[in-house]
Amino acid sequence: MRSRFVALILAALFVAACGGGAGQPSSTNGGTAADPGKKPKIGFSMATVKEERWQRDRDAFEAHCKQINVECVITVADNSADRQANDVENLLTQGVDVLVIAPQNATQAASLVDRAKEQNVPVISYDRLIDSDKIDLYISHQVPVIGRKIAEYALEHAPQGNYAMVYGSSSDNNALIMKEEQLKVLKPAIDSGKIKIVADQFIPDWKPEEALKMAENALTQNNDNIQAFVVSNDGMAGGVVSALEKRGLAGKVIVTGQDAQLDALQRIAEGKQSMTIYKPIIPLASRAVDAAVKLAKKEKLETTPFKNVTGKEVPAILLEVTTVDKNNLMDTVIKDGYAKYDDVYRNVPEADRPKRP
């Protein structure tokens, strides 16, 4: 009887030492810190993959995870903040060691960060900045620079006249940051009277069809007298170009963009869209995965401080961006292998194409 009692005591001590007692997690963040040899498990909660750009992010993220032999679980919320909250809860339940979030709603996503922190899970804010100073990393391209480059291009190519400002979703910090930077660039020209903003609107979920409606209304209200549409991404630029095409104005009005989507590159080659911002996606996704692995292993990250909307600093990794227009398509997206020559110039007659590389 005594030997049986001793055996039970030893068994209980063994379970306690392994952290497997009732109500006790096996580790503070899924097991990685307690077991350095364990393969980290990364959860990536994405707001959407409707745009080509986000499909590239998903594929690049997954490919790099496979390349370095890291497990990852990717969820897509289809532009629903509520669904994203459920996705994050499921990822945490699955025991992810690090949570990467591309937020649908920057403000609501702060509660998702809090939820992860309750389980001691590090959080990376991917591309879009979450309204929280508790995130462990914000990784993106240089969003303020993107806003400035877009406005600078418009101002250089349409130094006078009426402007229409087509901003992204008001629930996305990227849209707010770009608006602020664009207006800083344009302010001297506005104050001097050289340009006049005759229309401006935030577009819900960055929807191209809503941008089309906004552009149609702006053109109607101003008798087609608009010299530039300062548009914050390529999807919405497509909507604006559609509105201009209906009035025979495509190629006659400056239309900006961002993301270097294939359809935007084709419009630039045709002369219908003026420019886009090229943001290499593979380096962004790869560095996000690498950073997630380091956070899981509690290793130090090389970051720079970035002020969020509350003025508080968060650690950040910000990648460089490039302005692309008709003059440098060959030397940027095509040279880098981001897009193929035949795809970009598909709608351009052979005689009007630049020499094939």
Query: Residue 10 falls within a domain, yes or no?
Result: no
For the packed helices 281-296 and 52-67, what is the interaxial angle rounded to 10 degrees?
Answer: 50
Is there a single domain that holds both residue 148 and residue 134? no
Range of the domain at 64: 19-141+281-319
Q: Give strand ranges (E) for 205-340.
A: 228-231, 254-255, 275-278, 304-307, 313-319, 322-325
- The letter for the amino acid at 250 is A
Rounded CA separation 63/219 (Å): 44
Is there a single domain that holds both residue 242 and residue 158? yes
Q: Which candidate, 60, 38, 41, 30, places its Cα nearest to that of 287? A: 60
**Structurally, how many domains does the chain consist of?**
2
* Cβ-Cβ contacts under 8 Å for 16 (sequence gap 6 or more): none
**Length of the chain counted residue by residue:** 357
Is there a single domain that holds both residue 213 and residue 348? yes
Is there a single domain that holds both residue 174 and residue 189? yes
Rounded CA separation 304/313 (Å): 9
Query: Residue 113 falls within a domain, yes or no?
Result: yes
Rounded CA separation 43/112 (Å): 13
Is there a single domain that holds both residue 179 and residue 297? no
* Residuewise pLDDT in 10s, the chain (357 residues): 444 443 443 443 333 333 333 333 333 344 444 466 678 999 999 999 999 999 999 999 999 999 999 999 999 999 999 999 999 999 999 999 999 999 999 999 999 999 999 999 999 999 999 999 999 999 999 999 999 999 999 999 999 999 999 999 999 999 999 999 999 999 999 999 999 999 999 999 999 999 999 999 999 999 999 999 999 999 999 999 999 999 999 999 999 999 999 999 999 999 999 999 999 999 999 999 999 999 999 999 999 999 877 788 999 999 999 999 999 999 999 999 999 999 999 999 999 999 988
CATH number at residue 335: 3.40.50.2300
CB atoms within 10 A of CB 12: 11
Query: Residue 4 falls within a domain, yes or no?
Result: no
Is there a single domain that holds both residue 128 and residue 192? no
Query: Residue 12 falls within a domain, yes or no?
Result: no
Query: Residue 8 falls within a domain, yes or no?
Result: no
